[in-house]
C-alpha cells in the first residue's frame, strides 16, 4: 500500500507474517500490541511452508501472525516487523477487508490511535 492509496486512514488492515516458532511469534505479537501498532494479534501454529530460498526447496513448520491495525499504520508496522523479525526476508502482507463490523473497526482504530 503506497501513500497514494485510496483507502481511508482508519480503514481496517490485516497484516500477516510467518515466524519460525511460537516464542518469536509471541514476542512480536506482544511488541505490536504494546507499541499500539496493532489492536489485536492472533497466532496460528501448525502452518507448513514449502518455498524456494537461495536456490533450494525448503520446508518448515511456522507460526502465522495476523495483526489487526488501520491503514495509516502500514508503513510503521511494516518497518517494525522488518526490524524485529528473525528472517532475512520476512513475508509481510496486508489485506483491507471490504466489510467489517463498525464497532469492531472503531475499537481497532481507538487502540492503535491511543498512543500514550
Per residue in 46-66, pLDDT (tens digit) is 999 999 999 999 999 999 999
For the question of whether the overall pTM of this predicted structure is more than 0.75, the answer is yes
- Per-residue pLDDT band at 114 (split at 50, 70, 90): confident
Alpha helices in 1-116 (DSSP H): 22-34, 74-84, 102-112
- Per-residue pLDDT band at 6 (split at 50, 70, 90): very low
- Per-residue pLDDT band at 10 (split at 50, 70, 90): confident
Contact 15, 21 (CB under 8 A): no
DSSP type of residue 60:
E
Domain positions in the chain are: 17-110
- Per-residue pLDDT band at 73 (split at 50, 70, 90): very high
Mean of the pLDDT values across residues 20-45?
A: 98
Cα–Cα dist 28/16, whole Å: 12
Q: Is 80 exceeded by the pLDDT of residue 35?
A: yes
Burial bucket for residue 109 (CB in 10 Å: 0-12, 13-18, 19+)? buried
Contact 62, 46 (CB under 8 A): no
Mean pLDDT of the chain: 92
Options 3.30.465.10, 3.10.50.40, 3.40.50.720, 3.30.70.120; CATH of 17-110: 3.30.70.120
Percentage of the chain modeled with pLDDT above 90: 88
Amino acid at each position: 500500500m503506497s501513500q497514494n492509496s485510496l483507502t481511508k486512514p482508519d480503514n481496517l488492515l490485516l497484516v500477516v507474517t510467518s515466524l519460525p516458532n511460537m516464542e518469536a511469534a509471541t514476542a512480536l505479537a506482544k511488541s505490536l500490541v504494546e507499541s499500539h501498532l496493532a489492536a489485536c494479534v492472533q497466532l496460528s501454529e501448525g502452518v507448513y511452508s514449502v518455498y524456494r530460498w537461495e536456490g533450494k526447496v525448503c520446508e518448515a513448520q511456522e507460526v502465522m501472525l495476523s495483526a489487526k491495525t488501520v491503514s495509516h499504520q502500514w508503513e510503521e508496522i511494516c518497518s517494525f516487523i522488518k526490524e524485529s523479525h528473525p528472517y532475512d526476508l520476512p513475508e509481510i502482507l496486508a489485506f483491507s477487508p471490504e466489510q467489517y463490523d463498525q464497532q469492531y473497526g472503531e475499537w481497532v482504530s481507538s487502540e492503535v490511535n491511543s498512543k500514550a
